[in-house]
Amino acid sequence: MAYPLFHPESRAAAPLTMSVAEFRGAFPGESQHVEFKRGTSMEQLQNTAVAFSNAGGGVVLIGVQDDGVIAARALDAGTQDDIHRAMQAVRDVGRYGLSQLDVDGKPVTVLSVARRREGFAQTSAGVVRVRRGTRDDPLFGAELVRFANERTSSRYESTEVDVELGGVSPALRTEIARALRLNRATGDRLRAAELATGERLTVAGALYLLPDPSRILGKAFVEVLRFPDDSGVDYDRREQVDGPLHHVLEETVRRVARELGTELVVLGTRRYELSRLPEVVLREAIANALAHRSYEAAGTAVRVELRPSAVVVRSPGGLPEPVTVENIRETTAARNLVVIRVLRALGLAEDVGRGVDVMQDTMAAEMLEPPRFETAAMRSSWNCRSAARSRPPSAPGSTNSNDGAHFAGSIALRLCMPHAARRSPTNVFAS
């Protein structure tokens, strides 16, 4: 099938500018995959975004009249806010992206909407629509039931595993019950919390209530690999962090923070030791990797790579729909609702929608570059180099908590405000 320019499935490069003739050639009119909008009405944007999400995806050209004449609509802050509000109001919209196209000097805002691969989208009023030709048709009755049955998918984290409730660790059972504020960790309470189904644990339950979930779920652990260079594939140390998910998170953060060490900042007569990477950022990055990974990919572990100029956190599975790299701060979605809910109850993850904000804002407050997101990997990298003082890297087996030299190249002596003294690190996180 030939998709129009800007469609998520189109392989053609998206242009930045076009002439009116080129625009009319590329978009002769509205179609199965193209919709013209003059403005950013929330109801109209919702209807079309839902219809595209439930069909084959599509492109909404904002600032274009029904007859294809350019009315102009720039992708300014107000337009972005209008679109993000409309998309956030939609239930389970497909992944979407925003861009601007200039047609003979007149700006057109382009909203690209991808087809949902799992489940289906609804408007904020609960209406399910599908794209049919140039119409955004609502579904009712038997047609709606059939469509929902075809598209509804159960969450893997709620799948039953071959472990009976009697095999649960009493200590872990008490710990999780206390975090969830359950009076008693009875079978009924665990089932209500979606950690069990019938007399067996779910995948989510196994992650929190078994001493070693990897025996049942495959590589549910974290690998921490240390590399001597930035691009090589051979590491000089590997550690495996096993255990219940919340223990794995805490232990991984502790080990990585210890390995990275600190840097010395001197301000007047005072000395300050600053972590090379803010612990809250490190914790949130690893928490996101564990909470939003695909546990169906049982043969792949979450991996933390320590390189001289980067910390790389890799998580199996792409970003959950409708999250994209472009809208990751404005849009929230969870692949594993129970897993992230328990992490939050334990105080190990930020409230819904705040994880990315906290990482970005913390890095900004530390005078570090903001996180960047990639679809293939989640990275955090920074450079801490100074000609003032250096020391050799430790041996591969060293666990010196203050030895960050062989990751950062040197320890920096700072002669101004501690945070402002930091050199501009590059930080990347992606799922």
309-345: per-residue pLDDT in tens? 878 888 887 777 667 767 777 777 778 889 999 999 9
Same domain? For 269 and 131 the reply is no
Note the pLDDT of residue 400: 33
Pair (66, 173) in one structural domain? no
Same domain, 240 and 382: yes
**Residue 97 placed within a domain:** yes
Does residue 279 share a domain with residue 165? no
What tokens were used for 8?
């998520």
Together in a domain, 103 and 174? no
User: Which pairs count as long-range contacts for 125-131, CB under 8 Å and 24+ apart, including other chains?
Assistant: 126/91, 127/47, 127/50, 128/50, 128/54, 129/47, 129/50, 129/51, 129/54, 130/51, 130/54, 130/55, 131/32, 131/33, 131/48, 131/51, 131/52, 131/54, 131/55, 131/56, 131/58
The per-residue pLDDT for 154 is: 63
What is residue 247's predicted lDDT score, i.e. its pLDDT? 97
Of 363-367, 370-374, 398-402, which range is least confident? 398-402
* Arithmetic mean of pLDDT, 8-21: 94
Range with the lowest mean pLDDT among 88-97, 198-207, 394-403? 394-403
Split into its structural domains, the chain has a count of 3
Shared domain for 244 and 390, answered yes or no, is yes
Which residues does 66 contact at the CB level (< 8 Å), separation at least 6?
30, 36, 38
Report whether pLDDT(142) > 60.
Answer: yes
Range picked from 70-84, 293-307, 412-426 for highest mean pLDDT: 70-84
Whole-number pLDDT of residue 17: 97
- Check which CATH number belongs to the domain holding 302 and give it: 3.30.565.60
pTM for this entry: 0.60
Q: Which domain holds residue 81?
A: 17-151
On whether residue 10 sits in a domain, the answer given is no
